[in-house]
Amino acid sequence: MSFFIRKGGTGGNKVAQAGKKRRAPQEGKGKGSKKFRDEEIDSEGSDIEARDDVGYESEEDKETAEEKKLRLARLYLQEIQNELDEREKGGDEEEEKDEDGVRRLEDGVKERLREDVEADRGKLRREVTSTLNFTEVESAHLQDKNHKLSITSLVLSKTGDHLYTASKDKGLVKWSLPSGRKEFKVPGGKKGEENKTQGHCNTITSLAVTSDNVYLASGDTSKNIYIWTCDNMIRSHIFKGHRGEISGLAFRTGTHTLYSSSHDRSVKIWSVDEKCYIETLFGHQDHVLGIDAGSRERAITVGGRDRTVRVWKIVEESQLVFNAPGSSVDLVKLLNEEHWVTAGEDGHLAVWGAMRKKPLAMVERCHGTDPVNGEPNWVSSLSTLHNSDMVLTGSRDGFIRIWSIGEGFKTIIPVGTIQCPGFVNSLDVGEGGGRIVAGVGQEHRLGRWWRDSSVKNRIYLYTLKPVTSSS
């Protein structure tokens, strides 16, 4: 039996499964006949999928194959040109730019193509950690009254100029960086008052933002996924359908396709553009605790105490299963399209590759041992700088630890630590590794087993300087 569960008609899966036929729902039967509400989309009903008008026709739909290739090539070249211009702002004279412009563009295209090919093959690994100074770290912190309780999740926009944060007290805040100015605040509401407030009425557990910074997704313990327009932080939709609390969210790079994981042991796929549910993926035997996605039409998940990592190949309708050592695997982040790292309650940090069923490298008790009970410190947060050697982990031992993934992805080398008191519940890294953000709380993001009243619930910003010849 396929692990894909499809419901509804033909409209819902135009994004991921174009060209495949589906069985149309019968009129007057099941939830598909209920009146469609624009605000809330329920995957169990999936009535939007049977509508013929969920899409729209644009000029791009009328393009021939050659016209589309030409348009995309022009956009690609323009993107490279913009990158080169940005790097050389305030540098060369205009005359110099005119003389060298063609040569620079050619070199830029060659380098970009090479990197894109390596990235697609999962071989790109920029050595970033060796260029950063971990001994002189500038720090600052952000606080807000909507974050009186522990920070649970945060995410940087791709450009790094905006930060989105969430907490146990249901608050959601958008910050402007590096100034730390609050752009928007969405306070939480009381339980049972979801229809009276824009914000969440239950603890927010996870955040994800599209690579173009158009949409923000937030999941909570009441099984709901809220979609926000990033520009004004107005809630545009609620996706419903999971039967357990939301544990993770990830947008496919370059798209508005959203993957969600839940304690109901399933993964769901949603189209934010079409406001619809697409697929449900089954296979995990325990709570799905972490999820990530890259540019391919794939998602990668970890199943807690079922000790498996699963790579879901959406188009092929198949999955790769990797059995993790230890007692639990709770966190997962992609390094590139073929390699990823995992961490968990048992304190491990491991590097994996798609071509091998066992970890390529692993560090046990990577955050040390709890002196009270002798157990390994729980790795509560994990982040990577995509297509580089940089990995970050957080726990409750008072440090954020920075690791370098060695050549061939076969070694994990500790390269630096940053002091950070409290439970480091979420991490993200941007600006080529030079900016690190950490969401810290008095309690673990998943529960209230411990409490450290000596620390503050806040967001920490760390700025790393590049290595100089005198360092």
pLDDT tens digits for range 289-316 = 999 999 999 999 999 999 999 999 999 9
pLDDT tens digits for range 397-441 = 999 999 999 999 999 999 999 999 999 999 999 988 999 999 999
> Quick one: what percent of the chain has pLDDT higher than 70?
76
Q: Are residues 70 and 157 in the same domain?
A: no
pLDDT tens digits for range 347-393 = 999 999 999 999 999 999 999 999 989 999 999 999 999 999 999 99
Boundary-marking domain end, from 67, 93, 121 = 121
CA distance 34 to 54: 17
Q: Are residues 255 and 219 in the same domain?
A: yes
Q: Are residues 92 and 150 in the same domain?
A: no
CA distance 205 to 446: 8
Evaluate whether 165 touches 470 at the Cβ level (below 8 Å). Answer: no
pLDDT tens digits for range 107-158 = 666 565 655 655 555 566 799 999 999 998 999 999 999 999 999 999 999 9
Q: Could you list the residue range(s) of the whole structural domain that residue 106 is in?
A: 59-121
Boundary-marking domain end, from 101, 121, 141 = 121
CA angle 339, 342, 344 (to 5 degrees): 175
Question: What's the pLDDT score for residue 116?
Answer: 60
Could you tell me the two tokens for 14? 């135009």
Residue 139 falls within a domain, yes or no?
yes
Boundary-marking domain end, from 93, 121, 149 = 121
Evaluate whether 327 touches 307 at the Cβ level (below 8 Å). Answer: yes
Q: Are residues 101 and 247 in the same domain?
A: no
**94: part of which helix (H) or strand (E)?**
helix 94-121
Q: Are residues 346 and 415 in the same domain?
A: yes
Residue 19 falls within a domain, yes or no?
no
- Residue 81: what are its φ and ψ, rounded to 5°? -60, -40
Q: Are residues 269 and 159 in the same domain?
A: yes
pTM of the model: 0.78
In the numeric block, the tokens 């100089």 are attached to 468
Q: Are residues 234 and 94 in the same domain?
A: no
Evaluate whether 424 touches 396 at the Cβ level (below 8 Å). Answer: yes
Q: Are residues 369 and 458 in the same domain?
A: yes
